[in-house]
Amino acid sequence: MSSWGRVVMDVPDWIDDMASPGVSFEPKDRMPFVIELARRNVVEQTGGPFGAAIFESVTGNLVAPGVNRVVPTAISFAHAETTAIGLANQRLGVFDLGGDGLPAMELVASTEPCALCMGATVWSGVRKLVTGARDEDARSIGFDEGPKVADWQDALRSRGIAVEVDVMREEAAAVLDMYAVSGALIYNGRSDA
Amino acid sequence: MSSWGRVVMDVPDWIDDMASPGVSFEPKDRMPFVIELARRNVVEQTGGPFGAAIFESVTGNLVAPGVNRVVPTAISFAHAETTAIGLANQRLGVFDLGGDGLPAMELVASTEPCALCMGATVWSGVRKLVTGARDEDARSIGFDEGPKVADWQDALRSRGIAVEVDVMREEAAAVLDMYAVSGALIYNGRSDA
């Protein structure tokens, strides 16, 4: 290891209570799982109110879960999506989840992607993105989604990534509201922004 | 550690030959250092042709270096900028490099940011972004910068981040050309894209 150290992104141990490697989810059960990740992350005070997961689209095999870990890890880009993508990359040993010989994978996220996670979705190689709460739901409690192209759904579709939004939006937004009521830190990169 | 493992981003050991914690750089020496990171990353075959670093703007103290590590680590978002930002976050133990009590910091990158790194720059808390090669220089050798807002410089400035582009553009673009000539893998998230 160089003298500059390493960046270590992780997920909380309580995720093992919810799902271990080898578990599969029917399509209808994927968003509820991701919303529960977000909810439990708030309850356990292990990060922000966001959950995400990568599944094999056909089998439903859970490739990797993720939750927001910005505050506990002090990594500014440790969002739920990047955490799930990074874990999937390293578990499979491939930087391209859409590469030859791999089953099609989808990213399911409790909220529409911020500017960072939009880019991360493109580079991940997933073939589909499914989201719950909208950008405006995140903004309504003080989170900033960042400078993202206005036509982000079309931008993803034009790159071969299917997009499905508003899946269980109310249930997903309820976790955001719960977090806001809890008085936890709404961070936005700059604490004085 | 949960059964899902961890995401470990690092920099190559050869960076210790170039700079160790405690070293400082005059403003004019910052971009040459970052371009040399990119060049050496190609020569050592430890990743893509991109370098970045975070400096304290006034003192020039090198807070963290970064190089592209996508292929060696299999992490799709292990770009030079995210690596430098993550190392800076974890070395200082803060997710917000622009937080109270910290000196102003700048991100110097050998190429203009892709969509992902634009978002990461915003969330990092740096107060300034300095770039060398342009988006079109990266595109000209086959790298994709992703769906990024057209007015990305203004988007950063409107968030309090100063932007300076085209610093040693030719020298930075020469590293991209060297990489292309080397025949190394030009990845774009999807190997079949």
What confidence category does residue A130 fall into, taking pLDDT thresholds of 50, 70 and 90? very high
Specify if A4 maps to a domain.
no
- Residues facing residue B6 across a β-bridge: A10
CB atoms within 10 A of CB A145: 21
Across A64-89, average pLDDT: 98
Angle, to 10 degrees, between the axis of helix A115-124 and the axis of helix A80-92? 20
Is B77 a domain residue? Answer: yes
**The pair of three-digit structure tokens given for residue B93, joined into one six-digit string:** 């133990």
**CA-CA distance, A73 to A79, in Å (whole number)?**
11
The answer to whether the CB atoms of B95 and A74 lie below 8 A apart is: yes
**Letter for the amino acid at B67?**
V
Residue A114: give its domain's CATH number. Answer: 3.40.140.10
Check if B17 contacts A (Cβ < 8 Å): no
Question: What one-letter code names the amino acid at A62?
Answer: L
pLDDT (0 to 100) of residue B191: 45
ipTM (interface pTM):
0.95
Per-residue confidence band for B185, with pLDDT thresholds at 50, 70 and 90: confident
Contact yes or no for A98/A68 (Cβ under 8 A): no
Is some CB atom of chain B closer than 8 A to the CB atom of A190?
A: yes
> Is A2 among the domain residues?
no
B10 in a structural domain: no
Residues 81-100 of B with CB under 8 A from A: 82-83, 85-87, 89-100
Average pLDDT of the segment spanning B6-16: 98
How far away is chain A from the Cα of B169, in angstroms, using its nearest Cα?
A: 24
pLDDT class of B156 with cuts at 50, 70, 90: very high
> What is the mean pLDDT of the segment spanning A29-35?
98
User: Structure pTM?
Assistant: 0.96
Cα(A84)–Cα(A9) distance, integer angstroms = 10
A168 dihedral zone (left: phi>0; alpha: psi -120 to 50; beta): left
Looking at the domain assignment, is residue B5 inside a domain? no
Distance of residue A150 Cα from the nearest chain B Cα, in angstroms: 8
Whether A189 and B122 lie within 8 Å, measured CB to CB: yes
What range defines the domain where residue B22 resides? Answer: 15-182
Taking only the tens place, the pLDDT of each residue in B73-97 is 999 999 999 999 999 999 999 999 9
Could you give the count of Cα atoms lying within 13 Å of A109 in the half-sphere of its Cβ? 28
Judging contacts by C-beta atoms under 8 Å, the chain A residues touching residue B94 are 74
Distance CA B40, CA B31 (A): 14
- The answer to whether residues B12 and B42 touch, using CB atoms and an 8 Å cutoff, is no
A123 and B87: CB-CB below 8 Å?
no
Based on the structure, what is the number of domains in chain A?
Answer: 1
* Chain A closest-CA separation from residue B149 CA (Å): 5
Q: Is A102 on the interface with B (CB under 8 A)?
A: no
Mean pLDDT of B90-114: 97
- B118 in A contact zone (CB under 8 Å): yes
DSSP result, chain B:
--TT-EEEEE--TTHHHH--TT-B--HHHHHHHHHHHHHHHHHTTSS-S-EEEEEETTT-BEEEEEE--HHHH--TT--HHHHHHHHHHHHHT-S-TTSTTSPPEEEEEEE---HHHHHHHHHHT-SEEEEEE-HHHHHHTT----S--TTHHHHHHTTT-EEE--TTHHHHHHHHHHHHHHT-----SSTT-
Q: Which residue of B has its CA nearest to A81?
A: B77
Q: CA A20, CA A102: separation in Å to the nearest integer?
A: 21
Cβ distance A74 to B90 less than 8 Å, yes or no, reads yes
Q: How is residue B37 written in tokens? A: 């990171």
